[in-house]
Amino acid sequence: MTKRVRPWGYQDSTNAAPANWALHPDTVAVRGGLARTGFGETGEALFLNSGFTYDSAEQAEAAFKEETEHFVYSRFGNPTVATFERRIAAIEGSEAALATSTGMSAMFASVACLVQAGDRIVASASMFSSCYVVLTEILPKWGVQIELVEGNDKKVWAAALSQPTKVVFIETPSNPMMQIVDIRMVSDLAHKVGATVIVDNVLASPVLQKPLELGADVVMYSATKHIDGQGRVLGGVVCGTTDYIHGVLRQFIRHTGPTMGAFEAWVLTKSLETMSMRVERMSASALEVAKFLEGNSKVKGVRYPHLKSHPDYSLAKKQMSAGGSTIAITFKGDKSKVFKFMNALQVIDISNNLGDSKSLMTHPSSTTHRRLTAEVQAQMNITESTVRLSVGLEHPSDLIRDIEQALKAL
């Protein structure tokens, strides 16, 4: 009996794909990281257990010393979580990945594991409000300094990065206003002052933008968004070099405990198999919806990276293979009119998630970004007449029809 070669199959690195066969990311998304048990199951196994046993006290000692590859405790590692980590790392093109319980624990751990009192962080000014709170309120309490940079002007970034900096944190496109930062430009400047560049790549997803290829060091995700993309579980993941992931980050996560659960990892591993199909379809629909909105007389402005009207359109074209699933829309009416429009929607749900198979609309200034002061919201161009639309997998004709009929209420 000949043994079937599964070059992409097993955890054992000696079974990695041959050097002359770089598997397409879509193949990796289905096969990557798979580690079958002796039963030879087709789908990925779910190891819903907290602990692991040893054949001897010596084996336990060796496992704790990390002399052997033996799972110890699911806070440190779990076979199902490890499958998810290997698969997302293979898709991202990173040496390693570490999964966390939520996107925010991924964000917090990715930054916190690198800094101590007196260190300096430079970040793009427009970002998801919880990331903003971590960087401008929580870390400063512990003596970390933060400088925010607005926009994408090289001179402004160079000025901010003219002194020693530990971490550069950028969110591009930003949530919710879809501002774009030049990952290559910022990474080059950051590396000159010794900073580690972390990109919150949630809005683009692993499918549309490859920050590591553009010079960034670390990529983080809320797996809750496009990775699950079906409204089921929370999760987060950080991708980077083996040194960073299995060095400082693993130590930080292992002892502080924001670990991803095995069930979530199992759901998310299966989600990765369909992620590129979903994200490409959602992006194509989002572009159609964004074009429709732009031509409407009740709309003041539409922000979508792959619309020519976007101030950083050419950069967005260069660093993203498609525009993504999220659109920021500012209407001509006031908040009460915008609420009337939202309440009139028949297909699109009012909800604050994004990257979901169901199209969702939120009013950031009263929900996701309400924690930010009026001044900070204004700086981010979030007004009371702005909504964020996450385009899902429904047929775009129904979404456009829904928006068209709801606009009558505006």
Question: Site residues (CB under 6 A) for ligand PLP?
Answer: 102-104, 107, 128, 131, 171, 175, 200, 202-203, 222, 224-225, 234, 236
- DSSP H helix total and E strand total for the chain: 16, 12
Q: Answer whether 165's CB lies under 8 Å from 120's CB.
A: yes
Q: State the minimum distance, in angstroms, from the CB of residue 242 to ligand PLP.
A: 24
Q: Which is nearer to ligand PLP, 179 or 406 (CB)?
A: 179
Least distance (Å) between residue 5 CB and ligand PLP = 38
Q: Which is nearer to ligand PLP, 119 or 228 (CB)?
A: 228
Instruction: Give min distance, CB of 97 to ligand PLP, in A.
Output: 16
Please state the closest distance from residue 355 (CB atom) to ligand PLP, in A: 8
> How many Å apart are CA 113 and CA 247, to the nearest integer?
10
Rg (CA), the chain: 22
- Which one, of 183, 180, 154, lies nearest residue 304 by Cα? 180
Nearer Cβ to ligand PLP (33/355) = 355
Residue 237 contacts residue 91 (beta carbons within 8 Å): no
**Please, what sign has the CA dihedral across residues 170, 264, 13, 54?**
positive
Q: What is the 3-state secondary structure of 103-125?
A: HHHHHHHHHHCCCCCCCEEEEEC
Minimum Å distance from CB 201 to ligand PLP?
Answer: 8
Give the 3-state secondary structure of residue 385.
coil
Residues 6 or more apart whose CB falls under 8 angstroms from that of 38 comprise: none
* Calpha distance 130→140 (Å, rounded): 14
Give the residue with the Cβ less far from ligand PLP, 229 or 236.
Answer: 236
Cβ proximity to ligand PLP, 299 vs 386, nearer residue: 386
Measured from the CB of residue 8, what is the shortest distance to ligand PLP in angstroms? 28
Q: Phi/psi class of residue 2: alpha, beta or left (left: φ > 0; alpha: ψ in -120 to 50)?
A: beta
Report the largest interatomic distance among the alpha carbons of the chain, rounded to a whole angstrom: 74
Taking CB atoms, the residue at the shortest distance from ligand PLP is 103
User: Minimum distance from CB of 192 to ligand PLP (Å)?
Assistant: 27
Which stretches does DSSP call E strand in 63-143? Answer: 96-100, 120-124
For the bound state, the minimum distance from the C-beta of residue 223 to ligand PLP, rounded and expressed in Å, comes to 7
Q: Which two tokens stand for residue 156?
A: 């402004």
Give the Å distances, CA to CA, from 61 to 12, 24, 58, 234, 252. Answer: 22, 40, 5, 34, 22
Token pair for residue 6?
């599964």
What gap in Å lies between CA 11 and CA 189, rounded to an integer? 37
Q: Which is nearer to ligand PLP, 35 or 138 (CB)?
A: 138
Our CB check for ligand PLP shows the closer of 7 and 257 to be: 257
Q: Minimal distance in Å, beta carbon 69 to ligand PLP?
A: 29
Interhelix angle 79-92/262-294, rounded to 10 degrees, is 40
